[in-house]
């Protein structure tokens, strides 16, 4: 094991983003897995909880006290909201960089954070220096970041699906009335024992949730406003799909009268021409979530049904990869000067 | 078996709408099943193809020649598009009433029919007398109809989800920009052997289809325009959900400035107060498709996220029941003067 | 509401067997639903928890204190193990009959009960009078029973799949080495919030469980021994299938040399010729769980691959109906002198 | 692209084993993809049919005539049965090695082949030299093989699950009465458009099939007899599971009286101690198919319920990987002197 490898710690490796991080990092050529903490499971071999890791990960879960996380180069937090901000200041003092897969460092507006997550923010100073970890929007700042707030799964699809339009040189759409109809696989709810995520509840069933308000709404809105340079009105309705992984966002935008001649296909292709993990599909394409299953790719298709003034943008990703663990590794690669795609070029699993 | 029972024939009983008709009709107290035709399966006991009917249906499939459909009181067509219109004129001469579950008698605009279904309409005169079989919109005409065009599954959800708003006394929403983001279980594609409907293709996957144009778009648009009394602009994006039955439509409407004070919850509740098969759920509800699985109920919830000027209407139904066979039986009840709910009061299967 | 209807109470109506009982009983022509108890949900309309019951069940959950269960004719216990035996003695004093869907009155061997359910049996005298509620094996005693222990789901399939062989006039198979390879949908685990039943855990996955020992093993073994009149050796391996409802047992028996000429197909057909809820399918049939979905039917097919001395019996049922709530209603019908099939003749839902 | 890479052709790359081969080979460091043939899809970019390959595979499907397969080092046949044996002789003349994923080179008994596959064998001489490609049983002969018959998915699980017992120094079990109760995900039926594989048919459903006889039975029996050195009696019942990938075999063996003291756990661990793709799990383990999803690993657990004389062996694999494409790549590695695990060390996808 080379000493030049990045020494990685994971806090809270028992959930789905945790096991997904382990899948990716255990095969990442530039990483040395140093420690995985779980107070509850301390002593248990990680591969006993996740038998897919048998033969790949030999670590046991450790208590935070035993894990010596301050010796890591980077620590991923795959924890409930509120954990990372408790531990961040101490780790930063040891020059450990932090990538939080929860929400602690996503929202610069601490009032919004407190409203949606029902807790005060314990380190607003750290938050101010934190960078929102969407590489396609903010690659350069991520490279320099000490703390990255890894984006939520829904925001990743909506923001990357809207960025080309909102960042265009002139106004193209009615930014006051954007609609994001999003659909997520059940793994997005995590590995928590809760009735709504049971097979017999979520299976053979389709439903909306959070229509009156969802935590990802302020996160999306804050970023949309930042990239559009103007307040953005967003209606966001998330839905639950009976599938394990996968996320699909259908975005509806009204094209402004002066912009009806825009070549939106070209706009998207140009915007993402050099992005390794954003695939603008050919005109007329109908992306499927399985085309990105277990990969870090996000695919976009741009439609304008019947030539109307409504633009329809279809976005797919794997909510656990580009929507969580894969994007976190992509951020790590940037922060440590590795090629951005290192350890992230798996082919999606189909069927 | 009482001679006063309605004598029923089914043409093309081998698909999913066919077996669903048989499930409902075999337990309908006012019906006598007379014949089921399938040229390909003639001679085969229906219950051999559909073992759920063992002990409930003793008929065999017959050829159309042997089936003596002209002795029926009513014939249901659960066939591909184009079959009913070939056979309708002869049956009508024998005073047989017709309920077509395909598209032959849905669109009054024969040009649109020919464009979308790639065949000329063979009996436009019959079509002109046919009634679009959505009881909640046109109950009285259905009672008198000799030919009913049973609505498509998507149109049923979208039309019933929009009718209260479009039929209101004054304009409430921007009718030029209505969005219907619809999701269907795979049974909607029928029992045809096609790759896209395979378990290994449609399972654990989510996708959009027909974004550039779907046959149900002109059907919805024609009816919307009729009930709104003005042309309606609709963006309709159907999606495929990895579940067997169930349909969910999320409808987005922009409320007009003068209508922002409207009590939409009350509007919907009043509109459907006496409808046995439309359930306007309490404010804040999140309907699930499973709440109507295998029942003829359609449920609606009305939302206005964050008090904005966007109205969000959620509609669920079982695509094979209220979206097909159940609605056909509801129409039959109306046409023959039975209580509308006869044979249709099953409790939905949950879980 | 006729006063001659059976007055029914349900204790613990919040789980899957509870809602299934409500589905069946709310449409049962001989029943009046009197009360449903749930201490935790008291005051909540049942239909708020289970929206499929909207319009069909108007009761609210009540505390046991308010529910006046002693005024019922019969009380169903859809509760965790151990509840029914606490409440049975008091109810019996008021001449209320009891049908327990949990295990309290299934095992006559209280040592086995205590071993597997980790609690002492609190009313062994009541247990001694209780009848194991498998109508096809013990119809006459059920008719007279004051307390019925409703069978477990696995035992129903295994016992009905083996009875014709074990009850035959002469020995037909090696009763020392019977194998039951059983598969259950996830609803069998109930509506408990537990990680193993999550969609993202049980979906797209297949596994065995309880190989070292399962609570249904002693229940099956006790009954097998009773009907065989000799100790029976059973290897029972349950598996979890990614589906909501449905149970499939594949039974393997070694035919004794002297019995190789037996016509097993005829044996099964004769044994169950008059059973309304056991369907012995034609020779060569391959039953599917969906052929009984949401119905009280159990189907059996008998095979002897390649004419060998191994008999293979395939059994399907809906675990929540014939495996639980439907069988309980069947028992109630018997106990109250109604036709056994009353309220239980629904056609299975397919697809 | 190094000239020392193995030049690979694939015949019939449009099915599930084809796309899985492409997933594995496109990331295999020792392989150069030379050509993929499909007469029907010739000219179509492979990634247009399988969008998961966008960015990974740039080849188009070619006609066999254009594909210059005789310039390959090895050709994989991912075709229907009967194709490889037609093309094998010509390829062999050009020193091209062949790995057939269909059945042409699995059965040495050509009568059995003709009986089960309904066609004469066109090149019995090639067949005689072909090696059955189960590396754990016949690694050395595979290294030297010019033609490998890649095992069926069911046989891989049953043979590897039984080999330790049947290859033991002394008789351990009754080899006349072995039971294999096997369960497969729907992808095992391939990407053929057939009704039985539709989502609405196979979903939320469980069934047995091929009870009277299945093509994999003679394949398993021939190999079992070979490794046991004595005829083996096998009852094999395959079942269809509503999941995409995954195979689970539950094997039941009766232990001989003299062998009751055998430490079967140790027997299995020793037998597979050095196998990179067979994982004998710790005593008491309950393997899940998802623990090997999309990986080449096969996992085994050994049980002896209640200390009886019945041995229960549980085996899981991904039917498309260790059961097909992965095993084919493993064979290729052996045939070309590469480390056996090259390109096959992906971590399974969980959840």
Rounded Cα gap, residues B100 and B84, in angstroms: 6
Phi, psi (5° rounding) for residue A11? -100, 120
- pLDDT (tens digit per residue) in A176-205: 999 999 999 999 999 999 999 999 999 999
- Measured in whole angstroms, the distance separating CA A92 from the mean position of its chain's CA atoms is 23
Chain D environment of B197 (Cβ under 8 Å): 198-200
- Return the residue in D205, D308, D316 with the most chain C beta carbons within 10 A, the one to mutate for interface testing: D205
- Could you please report the per-residue DSSP string of B100-157? ESSSTTT-S-HHHHHHHHSS--S-HHHHHH-EE--HHHHHHHHHH-SEEEPPPHHHHH
Q: Measure the CA angle with vertex A245, ends A242 and A247; round to 5°.
A: 85
Nearest to A289, CA basis, from A326, A323, A327, A264 = A323
Write down the residue that tokens 């959009």 correspond to.
Answer: B208
pLDDT score recorded for residue D124: 96
Q: Is C243's CB within 8 Å of D305's CB? A: no
Q: Is A305's CB within 8 Å of B204's CB? A: no
**Chain C 45-64, residues with CB within 8 Å of chain B CB atoms:** 50-56
For residues C161 and C169, the answer to whether their CB atoms sit within 8 Å is no
Q: Is D96 helix (H, G, I), strand (E, B) or coil?
A: coil
Whether residue B351 is preceded by a cis peptide bond, meaning omega within 30 degrees of 0, is: yes
Chain D environment of A281 (Cβ under 8 Å): 51, 54
Q: Is A244's CB within 8 Å of C198's CB? A: no
pLDDT score recorded for residue D1: 39
pLDDT score recorded for residue D3: 55
Q: How many CB atoms lie within 10 A of CB A269?
A: 17
How many residues comprise chain D?
351
Strands C298-303 and C310-317: antiparallel
Rounded Cα gap, residues A107 and A218, in angstroms: 8
A74-77 β-sheet, strand order? A61-62, A31-37, A6-11, A74-77, A97-100, A147-149, A131-132
Residues of B with a catalytic annotation lie at 153
Please name the residues in contact with C224: beta carbons below 8 A apart, sequence gap of 6 or more: C158, C159, C162, C166, C175, C178, C232, C234
Chain D environment of B16 (Cβ under 8 Å): 200
Domain C6-129 has CATH 1.20.1740.10: no
Chain A environment of D290 (Cβ under 8 Å): 52
Please name the residues in contact with B339: beta carbons below 8 A apart, sequence gap of 6 or more: B333
Structure tokens at A219: 């996160």
pLDDT score recorded for residue C2: 44
Rounded Cα gap, residues A138 and B165, in angstroms: 43
Chain C residue closest to D318 (CA)? C205
Structure tokens at C301: 């097919």
Give the residue ranges of chain B where pLDDT is below 50: 1-2
Give the residue ranges of chain C where pLDDT is below 70: 1-3
**pLDDT-derived band at A2, boundaries 50, 70, 90:** very low
Chain C residue closest to B298 (CA)? C52
CATH class of B154-318: alpha beta
Q: Is B237's CB within 8 Å of A246's CB? A: no
Q: Is C193's CB within 8 Å of A194's CB? A: yes
Report the greatest alpha carbon distance in chain B: 64
- At the topology level, CATH places domain D154-319 in Dihydrodipicolinate Reductase; domain 2 (3.30.360)
In angstroms, the Cα distances linking C238 to C154, C241, C243, D181, D206 are 8, 10, 15, 12, 14
In angstroms, the Cα distances linking C340 to C75, C96, C277, C330 are 18, 20, 10, 6
Rounded Cα gap, residues C319 and A208, in angstroms: 29
| Active-site residue, A153 included | yes
For residues B235 and A310, the answer to whether their CB atoms sit within 8 Å is yes
Q: Give chains near A: 3+ CB pairs under 8 A.
A: B, C, D
Q: Is B286's CB within 8 Å of A248's CB? A: no
Q: Measure the CA angle with vertex B309, ends B134 and B239; round to 5°.
A: 50
Comparing CB atoms, the residue among A177, A305, A309 nearest residue B310 is A177
Chain B environment of A314 (Cβ under 8 Å): 208, 211
Domain ranges of chain D: 6-129, 154-319
Q: Is the pLDDT of residue D64 over 70?
A: yes
Nearest to C318, CA basis, from C270, C248, C259, C260 = C248
Q: Is A185's CB within 8 Å of C193's CB? A: no
Structure tokens at B232: 């309606």
* H-helix or E-strand spanning residue B18: helix B16-25
Rounded Cα gap, residues D177 and B5, in angstroms: 57
pLDDT score recorded for residue A157: 98
**Measured between CB atoms, does A197 come within 8 Å of chain C?**
yes
What is the value of ipTM here, to two decimals? 0.96
Rounded Cα gap, residues A345 and B183, in angstroms: 32
**Measured between CB atoms, does C308 come within 8 Å of chain D?**
yes
Alpha-helix runs per DSSP H in chain A: 16-25, 46-49, 84-93, 110-117, 124-129, 135-144, 153-166, 199-202, 216-228, 264-271, 326-335
For residues A181 and A161, the answer to whether their CB atoms sit within 8 Å is no
Q: Give chains near D: 3+ CB pairs under 8 A.
A: A, B, C
- Rounded mean pLDDT of chain A? 96
- Tell me how many helices (H) and strands (E) chain B has: 11, 14
Comparing CB atoms, the residue among A16, A54, A297 nearest residue D279 is A54
**Measured between CB atoms, does B200 come within 8 Å of chain D?**
yes
Chain B residue closest to C186 (CA)? B351
Structure tokens at C184: 């259950």
| Nearest CA-CA distance, residue A189 and chain C, Å | 9
- pLDDT (tens digit per residue) in A115-133: 999 999 999 999 999 999 9
Q: How many CB atoms lie within 10 A of CB C130?
A: 25
Strands C131-132 and C147-149: parallel
Structure tokens at B136: 């909640």
**Chain C 234-273, residues with CB within 8 Å of chain D CB atoms:** 235-237, 239, 241-246, 248, 250, 252, 254
For residues B176 and B232, the answer to whether their CB atoms sit within 8 Å is yes
**Measured between CB atoms, does D157 come within 8 Å of chain A?**
no
Q: Which residue among the candidates A60, A72, A123, A153 is catalytic per the annotation?
A: A153
- Could you please report the per-residue DSSP string of B219-267? HHHHHHHHHHTS---EEEEEEEESSSS-EEEEEEEEBPGGGTT--HHHH
- Measured in whole angstroms, the distance separating CA C181 from the mean position of its chain's CA atoms is 17
Write down the residue that tokens 């029942």 correspond to.
Answer: B295
**Measured between CB atoms, does D204 come within 8 Å of chain B?**
yes
Rounded Cα gap, residues D161 and D279, in angstroms: 11
| Nearest CA-CA distance, residue C283 and chain A, Å | 32
For residues D75 and D69, the answer to whether their CB atoms sit within 8 Å is yes
Rounded Cα gap, residues D132 and D106, in angstroms: 6
Write down the residue that tokens 């004389």 correspond to.
Answer: D309
For residues C251 and C183, the answer to whether their CB atoms sit within 8 Å is no
Chain D environment of C201 (Cβ under 8 Å): 351
Q: Is the pLDDT of residue D340 over 90?
A: yes
Q: Is C279's CB within 8 Å of B55's CB? A: yes
Structure tokens at A206: 């389709």
For residues D158 and D249, the answer to whether their CB atoms sit within 8 Å is yes
**Chain C 7-36, residues with CB within 8 Å of chain A CB atoms:** 16
pLDDT score recorded for residue D2: 45
How many residues comprise chain A?
351
**Chain C 166-185, residues with CB within 8 Å of chain A CB atoms:** 185
Report the greatest alpha carbon distance in chain A: 64
**Measured between CB atoms, does C195 come within 8 Å of chain A?**
yes
Structure tokens at B276: 């046995």
Q: Is A351's CB within 8 Å of D245's CB? A: yes
Comparing CB atoms, the residue among C236, C252, C305 nearest residue D213 is C305
Q: Is C23's CB within 8 Å of B349's CB? A: yes
Q: Is the pLDDT of residue A1 over 60?
A: no
């Amino acid at each position: 094991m080379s000493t030049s490898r990045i020494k990685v710690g994971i806090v809270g490796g028992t959930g789905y983003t945790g096991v997904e991080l382990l899948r990716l990092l255990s095969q990442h050529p530039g990483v040395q897995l140093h420690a995985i903490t779980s107070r509850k499971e301390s002593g248990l071999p990680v591969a006993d909880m996740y038998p897919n890791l048998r033969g790949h990960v030999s670590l046991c879960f450790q208590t935070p006290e035993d894990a010596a996380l301050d010796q890591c180069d980077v620590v991923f937090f795959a924890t409930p909201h509120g954990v990372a901000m408790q531990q961040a200041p101490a780790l930063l003092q040891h020059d450990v960089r932090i990538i939080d897969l929860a929400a602690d460092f996503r929202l610069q507006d601490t009032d919004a954070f407190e409203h949606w997550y029902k807790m005060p923010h314990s380190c607003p100073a750290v938050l101010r220096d934190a960078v929102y970890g969407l590489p396609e929007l903010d690659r350069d700042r991520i490279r320099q970041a000490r703390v990255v707030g890894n984006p939520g799964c829904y925001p990743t699809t909506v923001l990357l699906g809207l960025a080309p339009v909102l960042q265009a040189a002139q106004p193209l759409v009615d930014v006051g009335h954007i609609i994001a109809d999003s659909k997520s696989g059940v793994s997005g709810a995590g590995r928590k024992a809760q009735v709504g995520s049971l097979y017999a509840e979520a299976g053979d069933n389709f439903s909306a949730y959070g229509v009156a308000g969802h935590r990802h709404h302020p996160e999306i809105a804050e970023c949309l406003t930042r990239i559009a340079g103007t307040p953005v009105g967003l209606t966001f309705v998330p839905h639950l799909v009976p599938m394990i992984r996968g996320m699909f966002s259908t975005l509806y935008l009204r094209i402004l009268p002066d912009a009806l001649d825009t070549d939106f296909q070209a706009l998207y292709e140009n915007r993402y021409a050099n992005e390794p993990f954003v695939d603008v599909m050919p005109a007329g394409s109908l992306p499927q979530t399985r085309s990105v299953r277990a990969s870090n790719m996000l695919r976009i298709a741009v439609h304008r049904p019947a030539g109307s003034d409504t633009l329809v943008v279809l976005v797919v990703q794997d909510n656990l990869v580009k929507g969580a663990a894969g994007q976190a590794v992509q951020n790590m690669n940037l922060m440590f000067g590795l090629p951005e795609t290192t350890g992230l070029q798996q082919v999606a699993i189909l069927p």
